[in-house]
Amino acid sequence: MESERIQCWIYRDQSIQENLSRDVVIIYNLKNSLSVTVNGKTSCLKENDVIVINMNSNYVCDCSDGLYVKYALNAVDLKSCLSGKKYTFVCDSSLELNENYNGLRKVLSEILIVKYYKHKFGQIKLRQLFYDLILYLLRDFAVEQLELENSEKDELEQFVENHYFEDLSLQEISAAFNMSGQYFSKYFKKHVGVQYLKYLTEVRLNHALNDVLYTNKRFLAIAMDNGFPNISAFNHYFKEKYGVSPKSYREKNAFQSQNGHENSAELAEAIEHLRVRPETCENVISLDVDARDKKEYKSFWNKVINFGESRQLDEARILNQLKEVQNQLKFEFIRITLEKHTVNINGDYNLVKEISRFDELYRLGFKIWLTADYRDIDDIDGFCSYLKAFLSYMTRQWNIHRVREWYFELTYNTVFDQDKGDSYYEYIRKILDVLRFYGCEKNFVIGGMALGNRKGIRNLYHYLETNDLTFVNQSFVAEPYIYYEDENGMKMIRPTQENDIHNDLLTLKQTDNYFRDIVKNVFVVSWRENLQQYNILNDSCYKGALMIKKFLECFGQVDSLSPGILLDSMYDSIHQTDLMIGGDGLVTYHGIRKPSFFAYQFMNTVGNWYLNRNDNIAVFTNDYGNYHVIAHNCKSLGYRYYMEENNLDLKNLNSYFENEDPLEVRIRIDHVENGLYEIKTRSISSKGGSVQDEMERMKPGEVSFIHPHDIEFLESVSIPHISLKEVTVDSGVLDVSVILEPNEFVMIHIIHEN
């Protein structure tokens, strides 16, 4: 009989414990509180919380007055879905606010209902739900192991998995690995972390448990099929682990017998608690707006732009493109990274040349944001001498009041402990002494930590609280990996989902008092989605739609949200091998604007008042009775993308997304003035405005040479598509709708014709 892919148990007022679980286990708490301890770390689950327990973990669920469900995903079936890749599931809703848990709860609910109620096609439906669950976990909660795992451990575990039902004595397996029994025992314990015979017994019991619960096999057959020498040995080990005989366990835990006995009271109660709100239609998004409800807002999207090292201004191409971008997008601050040779002054450093670069930035209308990495400063006193000389000149050259508008940032993105905290704060103190002399201390920024480095952020805040230090300005970076800690220490791992800046910040607010009570200004000074430096999605409509999505998600949460690199021409020239290189910049090496550029441009056109928003739409207005709508149909990356991230195929770009469904966007604006309105829609999509798609249409084959005239043509057509229409309002209600293609984003300008 085929093994069950998903097993379920319902517990009321009952604690459980399992050592070295072979399966991925999901605990869904339904009523009151539940304490779950995994490998020594305890989480306190409230009602409706979910936690995923990874393979080979020890865990305890401590419950005295509650109701919860345990799901177990068969390890063999799960591994077969992962194409040889290794993942850790980071999923604990008690530690974070994340809307992705709603989808996970829904599929868990369906599994339980199908499993315990008679369903005509129950096994087929369960198979579908198993894969649905895997996709949810991979998309929203999985992190891929970037570093190579212990290959010896993998080999040993796989061998046991393949042969556990055979006579796998110590002599047999040691011979298979060409070792003596004594040496193999030490070898196994070293790499797997547990004695061989204990591990083998755990594997056999896990497989046998499936037969106990989900088959009508006799217990002798179960013992023989799973490698136990006899029924006595099977009964002994089973009772040692589960506290009762296999027969008693089957009678107690099989909530629905093969003869169709009625469901238990626990099942009925669980089904009631597992109900979730039905989803709305995914292909239609609506937003209702009251034109009278005007609110102030910060245009955080053009607060700060990253530039990197100032020496790049010496290259004419970069300087000219910077002028063009700033002329169109008008960023307030430009973030300049002080180079290592700058922060550690040497005889070759030319302060006059450095200052001339800043003069150029001043002429372009930028305010300055200076940043340095604490780890790059070998001589803090020398650095402070440089900073003092630099500020002394600039306050004479520019005017002291302008310099006092600058920001000064000292970053430290790493694991944080007491000794490092003392050193970091000593650097801060000395820099602040210099800044106070010029009256520039109010815009000092600390941090620069990755939002995924929760332990580092937590340690930083603990240090600041312990030493009674308050810093209201905090910077973060959003990176395509997170820091994860298990029993083997800290790891840097790849989440199979886009950076969820919104939920990361909500989680910080929920879990860290310092962030919630002290930090007033939150700057996300850099974010990127891709592990690789170059990725074809950076040139696509998806990147522009993703930026719009991030702007709407983070609205009201941050004071800045900046991409990693401003211009593709800032990459090394040796990489400029094609018209588009998949760089993170807003324009190509040749100066053609990419969809990401237009995402900023669209946001810069909105009115000075904010009315309302949801995940896909935001509505603004100005003082003249006009309205601006920003909307997107950004698609989530699918399972295939994360499987093929290192080798993407431009010809099959759409296959990397979860679906290709269009999205209808509907906006209703109440209490508008009656009269004639002109509706002008500017859009970027694969059908118009995207340089990547325009180039593919221009050269459908493999064309290696692009003439300068072709570049001029691409530049002329890679602009937003514009459509116009007029509507008359006579009831004070304005209805607008638009259908967006996958990864299309639009700016709708609604003009009142007086």
Tens of pLDDT, residue by residue over 394-430, are 888 888 899 999 999 999 877 777 888 899 999 999 9
Q: Is the pTM of this model over 0.75?
A: no
Mean pLDDT confidence for 481-503? 66
Mean pLDDT confidence for 277-282? 47
Q: Taking Cα atoms as reference points, which of 140, 134, 137 lies closest to residue 500? A: 140
Q: How many residues can be counted in the chain?
A: 754
In this model, does residue 144 exceed pLDDT 80? no
- Check: CB of residue 558 under 8 Å from CB of residue 523: yes
Give first-to-last CA distance, the chain, whole Å: 76
258: left (phi over 0), alpha (psi -120 to 50) or beta: alpha
Q: Out of 205-219, 393-407, 519-533, 620-634, which region has the weakest mean confidence (pLDDT)?
A: 205-219
Maximum CA pair distance of the chain? 93
Quick one: pLDDT at residue 84?
A: 64
Helix orientation angle between 196-214 and 181-192, rounded to the nearest 10 degrees: 70
Q: What is the pLDDT of residues 98-113, one digit of tens each?
A: 777 888 888 888 888 7
Distance CA 331, CA 567 (A): 14
| CATH fold of the domain at 151-243 | Arc Repressor Mutant, subunit A (1.10.10)
User: At 121, which amino acid appears?
Assistant: F
Distance CA 232, CA 537 (A): 60
Quick one: pLDDT at residue 258?
A: 36
Domain ranges of the chain: 6-145, 151-243, 280-301+532-559+574-754
Quick one: pLDDT at residue 340?
A: 56
493: left (phi over 0), alpha (psi -120 to 50) or beta: beta
With cut-offs at 50, 70 and 90, classify the pLDDT of residue 497.
low
In this model, does residue 709 exceed pLDDT 50? yes
419 or 538: which leads in pLDDT: 538
The label of the residue with tokens 């790499």 reads: 191
Mean pLDDT, the chain, integer: 85
Backbone angles phi, psi at 151, to 5 degrees: -65, -30
- Check: CB of residue 53 under 8 Å from CB of residue 19: no
How crowded is residue 729: how many other Cβ atoms within 10 Å of its Cβ? 16
C-alpha distances out from residue 434 to 428, 554, 559, Å:
10, 34, 25
Quick one: pLDDT at residue 564?
A: 81
The CA radius of gyration of the chain, in Å to the nearest whole number, is: 30
Quick one: pLDDT at residue 342?
A: 54
In this model, does residue 17 exceed pLDDT 90? no
Cα-based torsion angle of the residue sequence 266, 271, 274, 279 in order, rounded to the nearest 10 degrees: 180
- Fold match, 6-145 / 280-301+532-559+574-754: no
Mean pLDDT confidence for 367-374? 93
In this model, does residue 259 exceed pLDDT 50? no
Superfamily name with CATH number, domain 6-145: Jelly Rolls (2.60.120.10)
User: At 653, which amino acid appears?
Assistant: L
Quick one: pLDDT at residue 676?
A: 95
- Check: CB of residue 674 under 8 Å from CB of residue 736: no
Mean pLDDT confidence for 64-91? 79
CATH classification for the domain delimited by 280-301+532-559+574-754, as one of 1.10.8.50, 2.60.40.1500, 3.40.50.1860, 2.60.120.560: 2.60.40.1500
Cα-to-chain-centroid distance, residue 205: 37
With cut-offs at 50, 70 and 90, classify the pLDDT of residue 275.
low
Q: Out of 257-266, 349-358, 707-716, which region has the weakest mean confidence (pLDDT)?
A: 257-266
136 or 282: which leads in pLDDT: 136
Quick one: pLDDT at residue 480?
A: 80
> What are the structure tokens assigned to 613, written together?
């928003």
In this model, does residue 211 exceed pLDDT 60? yes
- Check: CB of residue 450 under 8 Å from CB of residue 477: yes
- Check: CB of residue 502 under 8 Å from CB of residue 549: no
Residue 509, CB half-sphere, CA atoms under 13 Å: how many?
13
In this model, does residue 487 exceed pLDDT 70? no
User: At 341, which amino acid appears?
Assistant: H
Distance CA 52, CA 35 (A): 14
In this model, does residue 261 exceed pLDDT 90? no
2 or 515: which leads in pLDDT: 515
> What are the structure tokens assigned to 330, written together?
């008008």
With cut-offs at 50, 70 and 90, classify the pLDDT of residue 145.
low
Distance CA 329, CA 593 (A): 12
Quick one: pLDDT at residue 279?
A: 44
Mean pLDDT confidence for 533-556? 93
- 10 burial type by CB count under 10 A (0-12 exposed, 13-18 middle, 19+ buried): buried
Contacts of 554 (CB under 8 A, 6+ apart): 300, 501, 502, 505, 524, 561
Distance CA 736, CA 729 (A): 11
Contacts of 32 (CB under 8 A, 6+ apart): 47, 65, 66, 67
